[in-house]
């Protein structure tokens, strides 16, 4: 097994920083390219890498393709970054893939959209609490005042027990990167590094597309040759690899309509007794999620255990091949079909699933509010800062969002988008949007599905290795 | 049971009319899209025998690699159609030129040799199209025997039963067989579903033919092994490594392809590749075409092509004196999923076919080791198993995208149905007429 070069990789890929109670993401614009490069040189050693001892604060940095251009990144070199990264999240085709329409249309976004200020880079500041994060940021600010300006700030926090605002425990099923030194997870979650880090082999045993330096600029000698051995055809000199130990990061701000979510669930119940009605609403929400609020998987728990159960050790083939426990359309079954994908044999399903995983890095914003059938009126706007790392945005994040999330044709279903992330406000479909719950005899069908999540901003970032940050300071 | 057939006809475009043709095709595309978005009837829908159809302009520009022979600018029409009558091709062409007369005239008057306005008759139009017909090398149909009319009927049946199930409250204790009976009564009470009383013919795997094929394969095995070794030593070993990756593809071309993709949950794919020079590679390609043709009619009859469960129709066509190959597909989901399915489900089958085309990612034993069931992707210490070719994921995806070329007009007759929906609807119709056990009835109800 290839060991990862941990001291080169930004730590947020390998740690969810849950001990960091508060985070501030600064979306910034380059004012002065030369000053920005000096800033990069000054902070490169301070970027939290995966071997660093984490104390009270963490610091990570990512760039948009605009940002690299602002620094003077050569156009030809730029072209070897993945198309998704180069084009960014806002193109007509990508809007269709991601389903960002109606009130999630990029033209309505607060940041990252066509009407918003250009974003060049993201500085992610983490602290064990808000005050620590703030004071750490103030220190940094002095170093970049002349170089960068802040376009938008996103405050985030880790909520108790990893709950998100709808009230569900989040992030239970996470990949573990082989060679990262972290304990193996088992249950198909141990994934080849090339699915998450450039410069390593992926689940197909090949190297993911990486950012080759085809035209020398800056100090290429800082960088390693690309591991695949790609070389200039004439000179036979191997290209340096800017991507090595780097990764791509997807960030989306998702506003959650907690009240709408729970009101909808309650409306589906015919019960007049409030307690029973709330129980039915919770059971329905759990069917859509695939887990009970505390995280207990439906495959193993037919009743809400009422406690935190961060259990990921289950499959579907033996336990629930007909979907009577966990519907095929449930969020967690779509995003990770485990050993039952289509009609593929178990082994094929498992390997196919491993090729479409993302490393989720989610923080919540707004009031510290954990919704439930009983209590679902938060004060003010609440939502998720959805983030994920992947080596191939198209095969991983976009595939999950479109093919397994938005597509109403998942498996043999007819008109079932992902109930949490795939529902459109104004669907274009004969059958409307439904959620099918397999039962012993007739399926239960929830019709008129509504969207409870609104995209308010989004962007794709390149997260370079520590060495690549030093290199970028020299271009 | 009505069988489906492929039609492909190729016509030379008059260079002086190329721009006009492009404008006209674009107008047809936009009109079609607008009607479909509004769920209004379309011109193409008038052709009762037509499943999928498309027009593509095939010229030097469509080729990523240097063509093996000089190529002109051609218009290629392909349709997948229901075979009605003894001369089904003629029947289909008659429908095309009579129901789509304006389109056919608008488009083909930009081609060389199309009858002058005064000479245009049903016969002369048909004869023009007939002249350009070429043979399809291998053809796949995801729902054999299902005519367009039947697919729409069975869709209506599914929707009616779905509504019936929704509008009636069933207690949790009602046995599934009882519900099944109630559905049958409901359908029997509706004269518009009279047709469903007759079960639909569904093609099963043709075992005798398959066994004969298997025996032939065993008898031929020594020859096949020699052939593979020969190809390996004298051809494959000399193939150059291919390193083109997706980021390196031409942005303008990719954007042109993406412009018409993912407008609804089905897509098309049109590809042209150049066969490797020399007799051996061409023969090998034809052997694989023969094999695909045989399996497509005997084995891939239940909605899966080489295990890929998302394809409605696909075909391979040799053109230009058998030096170039066209590949067409109509599939569910998007490009990324489709190609991913290809690698995951049958990377070796694809490798075996396309390794005979130039600049395909380098292969190991042409992928044929994948024919051995249960073959792992790689043994420790050796690369000669399921690696290379389609398994060289990044370079394979880049190969696939870069040999794809734009489709000018694409007609999809049932865009709200996945191929799994189509097949499921037929099963609903047939199982409705069967006396089911409680367990079978439960599974029947799961189809909704």
Q: Dump pLDDT digits (tens) for B306-343.
A: 778 889 999 999 999 999 999 999 999 999 888 888 88
Nearest CA to A406 out of A427, A437, A382 is that of A427
Q: Could you give the CA distance from residue B303 to residue B309 in angstroms, rounded to a whole number?
A: 6
Q: Pick the residue from chain A with its C-alpha nearest to B173.
A: A441
Nearest CA to A194 out of A207, A181, A212, A185 is that of A207
CB contact under 8 A, A442 and B179: yes
Q: Minimum mean pLDDT among A164-168, A420-424, B202-206, B262-266: which range? A: B202-206
Min Cα–Cα distance to chain A from B298, Å: 20
The single residue listed with the structure tokens 């204790």 is B173
The pLDDT of residue A445 = 95
Angle at B367 between CA B363 and CA B370, to 5 degrees: 150
Q: Could you give the CA distance from residue A63 to residue A80 in angstroms, rounded to a whole number?
A: 15
Q: Which of residues 400-459 of A touch B (CB under 8 A)?
A: 402-403, 407-409, 411-412, 414, 428-431, 436, 438-443, 445, 447
Structural tokens at position B74: 């051609």
Structural tokens at position A48: 């939290």
CB contact under 8 A, B337 and A82: no
**pLDDT higher than threshold 80 for residue B370:** no
Chain A environment of B377 (Cβ under 8 Å): 205
Tell which of B165, B264, B265 to mutate to test the A interface (max A CBs under 10 Å).
B265
The pLDDT of residue B372 = 67
**pLDDT higher than threshold 80 for residue B90:** yes
Q: Which of residues 308-367 of A touch B (CB under 8 A)?
A: 322-323, 342-344, 348, 351-352, 355-356
φ and ψ of B11, to 5 deg: -130, 145
Q: Could you give the CA distance from residue B332 to residue B168 in angstroms, rounded to a whole number?
A: 32
Q: Residue A441 in contact with residue B442, Cβ under 8 Å?
A: yes
**Which pLDDT tens digit goes with each residue over A325-384?**
999 999 999 999 999 988 788 888 998 999 999 999 999 999 999 999 999 999 999 999
Q: Pick the residue from chain B with its C-alpha nearest to A202.
A: B393
Q: Which of residues 118-177 of B touch A (CB under 8 A)?
A: 158-159, 162, 165-166, 170, 172, 174-176
Which residue among A206, A343, A439 places its CB closest to the CB of B393? A206
Helix (H, G, I), strand (E, B) or coil at A27: strand
Min Cα–Cα distance to chain B from A441, Å: 5
CB contact under 8 A, A342 and B309: yes
Chain B environment of A412 (Cβ under 8 Å): 418, 420-421, 424, 447
**Which pLDDT tens digit goes with each residue over B178-200?**
999 999 999 999 999 999 999 99
Min Cα–Cα distance to chain B from A156, Å: 33
**pLDDT higher than threshold 90 for residue B201:** no
Average pLDDT value over all residues in chain A:
95
Tell which of A204, A212, A432 to mutate to test the B interface (max B CBs under 10 Å).
A204
The pLDDT of residue B391 = 85
**Which pLDDT tens digit goes with each residue over B428-441?**
999 999 999 999 99
CB contact under 8 A, B166 and A96: no
Min Cα–Cα distance to chain B from A416, Å: 12
Which residue among B162, B247, B377 places its CB closest to the CB of A81? B247
Which residues make Cβ contacts (< 8 Å) with residue A369, sequence separation at least 6?
A165, A258, A378, A379, A382
ipTM above 0.85, yes or no: yes
Helix (H, G, I), strand (E, B) or coil at A130: helix
CB contact under 8 A, B309 and A411: no
φ and ψ of A234, to 5 deg: -80, -55
**pLDDT higher than threshold 60 for residue A210:** yes
**pLDDT higher than threshold 60 for residue B24:** yes
Higher pLDDT, A319 or A428: A319
DSSP structural state of residue B362:
P
The pLDDT of residue A65 = 98
Instruction: Count contacts between A and B (CB, < 8 Å).
Output: 131
**pLDDT higher than threshold 60 for residue B381:** no
Q: Minimum mean pLDDT among A276-280, A413-417, B296-300, B416-420: which range? A: B296-300
CB contact under 8 A, A443 and B446: yes
């Amino acid at each position: 097994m290839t060991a990862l070069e941990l001291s080169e990789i930004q730590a947020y890929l390998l740690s969810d920083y849950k001990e960091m109670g508060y985070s501030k993401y600064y979306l910034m614009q380059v004012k002065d390219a030369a000053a920005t490069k000096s800033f990069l040189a000054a902070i490169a050693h301070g970027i939290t890498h995966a071997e660093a001892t984490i104390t009270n604060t963490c610091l990570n940095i990512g760039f948009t393709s605009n940002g690299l251009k602002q620094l003077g990144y050569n156009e030809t070199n730029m072209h070897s970054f993945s198309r998704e990264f180069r084009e960014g999240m806002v193109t007509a085709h990508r809007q269709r893939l991601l389903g960002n329409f109606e009130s999630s249309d990029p033209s309505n976004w607060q940041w990252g959209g066509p009407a918003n200020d250009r974003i060049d880079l993201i500085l992610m500041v983490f602290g064990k609490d808000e005050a620590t994060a703030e004071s750490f940021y103030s220190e940094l600010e002095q170093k970049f005042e002349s170089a960068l300006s802040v376009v938008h700030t996103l405050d985030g926090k880790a909520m108790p027990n990893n709950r998100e605002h709808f009230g569900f425990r989040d992030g239970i099923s996470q990949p573990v990167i082989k060679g990262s030194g972290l304990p193996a997870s088992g249950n198909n979650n141990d994934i080849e590094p090339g699915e998450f880090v450039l410069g390593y082999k992926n689940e197909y045993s090949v190297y993911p597309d990486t950012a080759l330096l085809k035209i020398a600029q800056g100090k290429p000698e800082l960088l390693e040759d690309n591991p695949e051995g790609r070389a200039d055809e004439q000179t036979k000199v191997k290209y340096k690899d800017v991507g090595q130990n780097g990764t791509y990061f997807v960030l989306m701000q998702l506003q959650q309509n907690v009240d709408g979510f729970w009101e909808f669930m309650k409306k589906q119940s015919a019960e007049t007794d409030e307690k029973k009605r709330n129980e039915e609403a919770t059971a329905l929400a759990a069917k859509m999620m695939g887990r009970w609020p505390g995280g207990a998987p439906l495959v193993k728990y037919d009743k809400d255990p009422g406690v935190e159960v961060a259990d990921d050790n289950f499959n579907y083939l033996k336990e629930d091949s007909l979907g009577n426990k966990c519907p095929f359309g449930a969020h967690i079954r779509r995003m990770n079909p485990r050993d039952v994908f289509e009609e593929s044999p178990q082994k094929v399903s498992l390997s196919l699933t491993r090729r479409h995983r993302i490393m989720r890095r989610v923080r919540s914003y707004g009031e510290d509010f954990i919704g439930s059938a009983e209590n679902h009126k938060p004060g003010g706007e609440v939502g998720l800062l959805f983030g994920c790392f992947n080596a191939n945005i198209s095969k991983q994040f976009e595939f999950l969002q479109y093919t397994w999330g938005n597509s109403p044709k998942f498996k043999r279903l007819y008109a079932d988008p992902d109930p949490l992330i795939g529902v459109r406000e104004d669907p274009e479909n004969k059958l409307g949007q439904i959620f099918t719950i397999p039962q012993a005899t007739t399926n239960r069908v929830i019709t008129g599905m509504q969207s409870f999540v609104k995209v308010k901003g989004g962007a794709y970032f390149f997260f370079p290795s520590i060495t690549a940050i030093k290199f970028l300071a020299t271009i | 049971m009505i069988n489906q057939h492929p039609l492909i006809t190729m016509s030379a475009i008059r260079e002086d009319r190329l721009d006009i043709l492009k404008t006209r095709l674009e107008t047809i595309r936009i009109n079609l899209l607008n009607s479909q978005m509004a769920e209004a009837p379309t011109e193409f829908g008038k052709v009762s025998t037509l499943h999928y159809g498309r027009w593509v302009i095939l010229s030097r520009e469509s080729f990523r690699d240097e063509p093996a022979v000089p190529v002109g600018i051609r218009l290629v029409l392909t349709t997948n159609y229901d075979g009605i009558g003894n001369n089904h091709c003629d029947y289909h062409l008659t429908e095309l030129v009579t129901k789509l007369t304006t389109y056919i005239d608008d488009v083909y008057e930009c081609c060389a040799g199309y009858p002058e306005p005064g000479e245009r008759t049903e016969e002369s139009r048909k004869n023009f199209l007939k002249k350009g017909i070429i043979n399809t090398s291998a053809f796949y149909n995801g729902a054999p025997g299902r005519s367009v009319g039947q697919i729409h009927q069975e869709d209506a049946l599914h929707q009616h039963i779905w509504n019936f199930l929704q509008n009636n409250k069933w207690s949790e204790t009602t046995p599934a067989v009882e519900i099944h009976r109630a559905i049958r009564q409901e359908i029997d009470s509706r004269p518009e579903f009279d047709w469903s009383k007759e079960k639909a013919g569904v093609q099963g795997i043709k075992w005798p033919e398959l066994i004969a094929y298997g025996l032939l394969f065993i008898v031929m095995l020594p020859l096949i092994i020699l052939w593979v070794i020969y190809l390996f030593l004298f051809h494959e070993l000399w193939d150059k490594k291919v390193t083109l990756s997706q980021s390196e593809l031409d942005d303008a071309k990719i954007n042109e392809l993406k412009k018409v993709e993912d407008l609804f949950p089905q897509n098309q794919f049109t590809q042209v590749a150049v066969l490797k020079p020399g007799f051996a590679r061409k023969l090998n390609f034809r052997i694989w075409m023969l094999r695909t043709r045989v399996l497509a009619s005997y084995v891939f009859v239940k909605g899966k092509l080489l295990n890929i469960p998302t394809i409605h129709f696909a075909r391979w066509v040799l053109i230009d004196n058998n030096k170039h190959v066209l590949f067409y597909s109509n599939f569910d989901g998007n490009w990324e999923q489709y190609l991913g399915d290809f690698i995951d489900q049958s990377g070796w089958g694809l490798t075996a076919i396309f390794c005979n085309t130039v600049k395909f990612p380098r292969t190991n034993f042409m992928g044929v080791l994948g024919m051995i069931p249960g073959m792992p992707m790689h043994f420790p210490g050796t690369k000669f198993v399921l690696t290379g070719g389609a398994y060289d994921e990044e370079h394979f995806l880049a190969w696939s995208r870069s040999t794809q070329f734009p489709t000018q007009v694409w007609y999809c007759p049932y865009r709200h149905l996945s191929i799994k929906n189509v097949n499921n609807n037929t099963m609903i119709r047939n199982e409705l007429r069967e006396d089911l056990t409680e367990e079978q009835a439960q599974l029947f109800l799961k189809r909704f």
